[in-house]
Amino acid sequence: MTDYSKELEIAKQAAQKGSEIIRNYTSNQNFNIELKGKNDLVTDADLETEKVILTHIRNVFPEDQIMAEESAGERRVPEARTWLVDPIDGTTNFAHGFPIYCVSVAMWEHGEPKVGVVLEVGRDQLFTAQKGRGARLNGSLIHISRITDPADSLIGTGFPYRDLHMVEHYLDLFEYLMHNTHGVRRPGSAAYDLCCVAAGYFDGFYEYSLNAWDVAAASLIIQEAGGEISDWEGDDNWLFGKRILAGNKVIHDFLLNAVEEHFTPEERKAEK
């Protein structure tokens, strides 16, 4: 098995450099907010953080490709070595001072994640994974939850706020989960939400409209923690499919059934 320790180290360093920039902006409260589209915010902090992260990666791996939220990149599952970067996942939280946002850095090769780092800035929680070597939080191994009864589960999600065409069915599913689980949470950072599944805080997670850089790192952290990840049809097209579902095996399958019952086949279909 290829050793990706160096890539993991660089991903951690890049995320830490990024989080320093974010912390400076947080303490000054001095940043511009612009709209990229409806409810799609970008701040100076996103742009500067991304620049610092990409520079750090390029200095060490100049040949590698990069797909990053604020500078984009090619939209397909990476075969060649590719870094997927979200400088601030949870920009709306950041812009409002709600303290849940993180830096997400992943390295993919041969169509699968090899390294994933998610640094939650507020509490300095560093989630890391290297393919085949387990998932860690601040250096200690983490494991997916062992809850097997959906009635005892806590579910994470993201509420639709840009693409609202499925809102009605989304609310139906939400009502069903309110009746059949301990509750539903919406922290506001998909990368962090997925790490909450990896650490066993959440038993499952679902959302639609996510982008590749939101999920590229945390997906490996979930897999290495023993969890399942799929699109809304139970298949593997979750990086660009815009529909994601994760959890331990039992809660993943419970959510897959729930999604099947509340959305039409067309709505569940992964984007290509």
Catalytic positions: 69, 86, 88-89, 91, 214
204 Cβ contact list (under 8 Å, min separation 6): 153, 155, 156, 197, 245, 246, 247, 248, 251, 252, 254, 255
Give the count of residues interacting with Ca ion (CB under 5 A): 6
Between 158 and 247, name the residue whose CB sits nearer to ligand IPD. 158
Half-sphere exposure of 79 (CA within 13 A, CB side): 0
C-alpha 66/C-alpha 84 separation (Å) is 6
Using the rule CB under 6 A, give the single segment among 85-93, 120-128, 133-141, 235-243 that binds ligand IPD: 85-93
Site for Ca ion, residues 205 to 224, rule: CB under 5 A: 214
Between 46 and 109, name the residue whose CB sits nearer to Ca ion. 46
Instruction: Give the residue at shortest CB distance from Ca ion.
Output: 89
Q: Could you tell which of Ca ion, ligand IPD, none binds residue 158, using a CB distance below 5 to 8 A set by kind?
A: ligand IPD
The amino acid sitting at 149 is D
C-alpha 124/C-alpha 129 separation (Å) is 16
C-alpha 86/C-alpha 90 separation (Å) is 10
Q: Could you tell which of Ca ion, ligand IPD, none binds residue 120, using a CB distance below 5 to 8 A set by kind?
A: none
Contact 143, 195 (CB under 8 A): no
In the numeric block, the tokens 């450099």 are attached to 17
Cβ of residue 94: shortest distance to ligand IPD, in angstroms? 8
Q: Is 43 in the site for ligand IPD (CB under 6 A)?
A: no
Q: Which of 66, 84, 85, 90 binds ligand IPD (CB under 6 A)?
A: 90
C-alpha 270/C-alpha 233 separation (Å) is 8
Q: Could you tell which of ligand IPD, Ca ion, none binds residue 15, using a CB distance below 5 to 8 A set by kind?
A: none
Q: Could you tell which of ligand IPD, Ca ion, none binds residue 210, using a CB distance below 5 to 8 A set by kind?
A: ligand IPD
Q: Is 48 in the site for ligand IPD (CB under 6 A)?
A: no
Residue 102's DSSP bridge partners are 89, 120
C-alpha 172/C-alpha 253 separation (Å) is 18
The amino acid sitting at 155 is I
Q: Is 120 in the site for ligand IPD (CB under 6 A)?
A: no
CA distances from 144 to 6, 129, 203, 237, 269 (A): 26, 13, 8, 22, 27
Between 4 and 206, name the residue whose CB sits nearer to ligand IPD. 206
Chain positions contacting Ca ion, by CB under 5 A: 69, 86, 88-89, 91, 214
Chain positions contacting ligand IPD, by CB under 6 A: 69, 86, 89-92, 158, 188-190, 209-210, 214
